[in-house]
Amino acid sequence: MVCYFCADIPVNRNIIIKISKMNILLKSTTVIDSTSPFNNKTVDILIEDGIITDIDSTLQSIPNITEINLADLHVSRGWFDSSVSFGEPGYEERETILHGLDVAAKSGFTSIALNPNTLPITDTSASIGFLTVKSQQHAVNLYPIGALTVKSEGKDLAELYDMQQAGAVAFGDYKKAIANPNLLKIALLYAQNFNGLVQSFPQDNSIAGKGMVHEEEQSTLLGLKGIPSLAEELQVTRDLFLLEYTGGKLHIPTISTAKSVALIKEAKTKGLAVTCSVTTHHLKLTDNELVKFDANYKVQPPLRTQKDITALHKGIQEGTIDMVTSDHQPIDIEHKKVEFDSASYGTIGLESSFGVLNSIFDIETCINLLTNGKEIFGIEDITIDKGSTANLTLFSPKKELIFDQKDILSTSKNSAFLGKSLKGQSYGIIANKKMILK
In order, the DSSP letters of 208-266 are HTT--EESSHHHHHHT--EE-HHHHHHHHHHHHHHHHHH-SEEEE----SHHHHHHHHH
Let me know if residue 8 belongs to a domain: no
* DSSP for 265-297, written as a single string: HHHHHTT--EEEEEEHHHHH--GGGGGG--GGG
Let me know if residue 10 belongs to a domain: no
Distance of CA 269 to the CA centre of its chain: 26
The residues with which 400 forms a beta bridge, in sequence order, are 423
Let me know if residue 379 belongs to a domain: no
Distances (CA, A) of 193 to 125, 128, 162, 170, 186: 18, 20, 12, 14, 12
CATH of the domain at 128: 3.20.20.140
Let me know if residue 423 belongs to a domain: yes
> Domain check: are 421 and 433 in the same one?
yes
Q: Which residues of 266-302 are buried (b: 16+ CB within 10 A; e: fewer)?
A: ebbeeebebbbbbbbbbbbbbbebbeeebbbbbbbbb
**Once rounded to an integer, what is the mean pLDDT over residues 280-304?**
96
Q: Which domain holds residue 360?
A: 79-371
How far is Cα 146 from Cα 152, in angstroms, rounded to an integer?
A: 10
Tell me if 138 sits within 8 A of 103, measured CB to CB: no
> Domain check: are 238 and 360 in the same one?
yes
Q: Residue 11: its pLDDT value, please?
A: 41
Say which amino acid occupies 416: A
Q: Residue 22: its pLDDT value, please?
A: 62
Q: Residue 65: its pLDDT value, please?
A: 87
Let me know if residue 4 belongs to a domain: no
Write down the pTM of the prediction.
0.93
> Domain check: are 216 and 253 in the same one?
yes
Q: Comparing 10-24, 189-203, 311-325, 352-366, which segment has the lowest mean pLDDT?
A: 10-24
Number of domains composing the chain: 2
> Domain check: are 267 and 400 in the same one?
no
Smallest Cα–Cα separation from 340: which of 408, 282, 410, 291? Answer: 291
Q: Which candidate in 56, 327, 362, 381 is catalytic?
A: 327
Tens of pLDDT, residue by residue over 219-267, are: 999 999 999 999 999 999 999 999 999 999 999 999 999 999 999 999 9
In the residue annotation, 327 being an active-site residue is answered as: yes
> Domain check: are 196 and 289 in the same one?
yes
How far is Cα 319 from Cα 117, in angstroms, rounded to an integer?
A: 29
Tell me if 286 sits within 8 A of 261, measured CB to CB: no
**Once rounded to an integer, what is the mean pLDDT over residues 171-175?**
98
How far is Cα 350 from Cα 302, in angstroms, rounded to an integer?
A: 19
Q: Is residue 350 over pLDDT 80? A: yes
> Domain check: are 187 and 258 in the same one?
yes
Q: Which of 371, 394, 412 is the last residue of a domain?
A: 371
> Domain check: are 267 and 204 in the same one?
yes
The residues with which 68 forms a beta bridge, in sequence order, are 26
**Once rounded to an integer, what is the mean pLDDT over residues 302-325?**
97
Distances (CA, A) of 404 to 42, 94, 108, 177, 360: 32, 19, 18, 33, 19
Tell me: cis bond preceding 330? Omega within 30 of 0 counts. no
